[in-house]
Structure 1
Amino acid sequence: MSESTVLEAARRVRLMGFDVDGVMTDGTIWFGPEGDSLKGFNTLDGHGLKMLAGAGVEVVIISGRSSPAVRHRAANLGITTALLGVENKREAMRELAAARGLDMDECGYMGDDIVDLQVLRACGFSAAPANGHFFVRQHVAWVAEADGGRGAVREVCEYLLDARGALDDLLQDCLR
């Protein structure tokens, strides 16, 4: 895809979905002695998600793994739709789009592994972190410079905001 085509696809996004492990986190899962799992989330990514939502793009989480930590993080960020333990992410995104009266070309998704390819290819805009699986990086519209859990989510949020013409105003507001 040409840069102008990718930018136009980004401009159309009204619903942006994110995978968790490897995208919102670095993919590491820590297990405690009782079997509880811990995940680390990047605060820069979190603020990017809030800015994107504040600009009118609905942010959703669609993950194959279910985790109380992810539910807590979603609530902390004001993300009201967190679909966890999803086997078919493409179908989940299609259902979300249909419920909102959106076409799939108005949807975007950021994923990192081959299990994300179906939803990535179904959306109008697709993205991966720099350390996403090589095959995934070959089949998305946009690849972040940062790794998953290390700022990739923030990068894609700012790219989407810039495509909408909203990033400069948001950044300038920070100086006031």
Structure 2
Amino acid sequence: MPGTYRGPVRLVLFDVDGVLTDGILHISGDGECFKNFNAKDGVAIALLRTHGINCGIISGKASRSLDYRARELKLEIIVTDCHNKLIAYNDIKYKLNLTHEQIVFVGDDIIDLPVMKAVGVSYAPCDAHELVRNQASHITISPGGHGVAREVAEHILQQGGLSLEESYQRLLSEWGRHEAKQ
């Protein structure tokens, strides 16, 4: 059927700092952390969801700004303050009854390497650590915090048999129903 995603991916997991953000932490005098998120990545989450692909985060850090953004995007998987991402990944994989080939991970720093080695496909932003770029299946043109998730989403859908235009048709026709957030 034309316009139907036919790829194996069922879940995309993102690191946060350096992937969904530029990695710069703004910390107030009382320790509150502020992060810069890119609106394009919010659309990417909605885009993947319209094709039956769930999304989540596995982050080494926790903050109120991250919690807010994760709730706003209605992410299916939210793991923060995670010191061993491979354990979290394996737990998610087991609970959702998925194979490695059905999961994509996007990471940028050395803490992400064990998960990147475990998943079927991995992505790294172009400004990721060299060891991470060497491990990644794909390297984005975008640096962290500048639309990495959007680039990853479009690539996954194109690898799954959709043109760029077909990728967005369903999202555009169902925009209100998915409550897409930029």
Same fold (TM over 0.5): yes
Q: What is aligned with 2:84?
A: 88
Task: State the SS of the aligned residue for 1:169.
Answer: helix
What residue is the counterpart of 1:50 in the other structure? 46
Could you tell me how far apart the structure 2 residues matched to 1:16 and 1:81 are?
A: 10
Q: Which amino acid aligns with 1:163?
A: Q
1:6: which partner in 2?
Answer: none
Q: 2:167 aligns with which of 167, 170, 174?
A: 170
Number of aligned residue pairs? 166
Q: Is the CA contact 2:32–2:63 (under 8 Å) kept in the aligned structure 1?
A: no
2:70 maps to: 74
**Structure 2 equivalent of residue 61 of structure 1:** 57
**What is residue 104 of structure 2 aligned with on the other side?**
108
Distance 1:63 1:172 in 2: 31
Alignment partner, residue 117 of structure 2: 121
Gapped runs of 5+ residues in structure 2?
1-5, 174-182
2:176 corresponds to which residue? none
Deviation, 1:151, is: 1.2
* TM-score, length basis structure 1: 0.89
Query: Offset at 1:63?
Result: 0.5
Runs of 4+ aligned structure 1 residues displaced above 3 Å come to 170-175
Residue 171 of structure 1: how far off its partner (Å): 3.2
Tell whether the 8 Å contact from 1:162 to 1:168 is kept in structure 2 after alignment.
no
Percent of aligned pairs with the same amino acid: 35
User: Which letter does structure 2 place at the counterpart of 1:82?
Assistant: I
> What residue number does 1:158 align with?
154
Q: Once the 2 structures are TM-superposed, how far is the Cα of residue 35 of structure 1 from its aligned partner?
A: 1.2
SS of the residue corresponding to residue 7 of structure 2 reads helix
Distance (Å, rounded) in 2 between the aligned partners of 1:36 and 1:90: 28
Shift of 1:43: 0.2
Kindly indicate whether the alpha-carbon contact (under 8 Å) linking 1:15 and 1:97 is maintained by their aligned counterparts in 2: no
Aligned alpha-carbon RMSD (Å): 1.7
